[in-house]
Amino acid sequence: MTTNTTIAALASIELFAGLSKKELAAIDRLMTPIDIKAGKEVIKEGTAGREAFIIVEGTASVWRDGKLIASVGKGAVLGEVALLANRSRTATVQAETAMTVEVLNRREFEQLLDQSPAITRKLLVATAKRVHQLEPSMLS
């Protein structure tokens, strides 16, 4: 994907909506694109969280304790809870289709949060929503 294409893709993701092209370009420089085959396990519940994923193309299923809790697609951010809390993965994610994802490792992820309070705020809101989906009683 070219840089301009990646920046346009990032701009279409809710988490990054409203960011300037300069901010999007800074995010783009931190990420690594990876293609994932359909059926591959992307994240395994209970393992250490070392990176976050942003789905650029394709869909994935999210499982917790062996139960399907969500299907996600383009624009979904995966693995950020484990990175933010420095905890193990809260769910298993499996590619339903072939996927292209952008990957941020822990160092890159922390750099992104340090550089952009706007992204940090949006990510915290998205994470709180995710926690509420997983554990509704925690935010009631």
What are the sequence ranges of the domains in the chain? 3-135
Report, as ranges of residue numbers, the positions in the chain whose pLDDT lies below 50: 138-139
Per-residue pLDDT, 137: 54
Q: Which CATH superfamily is domain 3-135 in?
A: Jelly Rolls (2.60.120.10)
Per-residue pLDDT, 97: 98
Buried b or exposed e, range 59-93, using 16+ CB within 10 angstroms: bbbbbeeeeeeeebeebbbbbbbbbbeeeebbbbb
DSSP 15: G
Per-residue pLDDT, 35: 97
Q: Going by C-beta distance under 8 Å and a sequence separation of 6 or more, which residues neighbour residue 92?
A: 41, 43, 44, 45, 62, 63, 64
Query: Cα–Cα distance between 21 and 18 in angstroms, integer?
Result: 9
Could you tell me which residues are beta bridge partners of residue 63?
68, 92
Tell me the residue type at 98: A
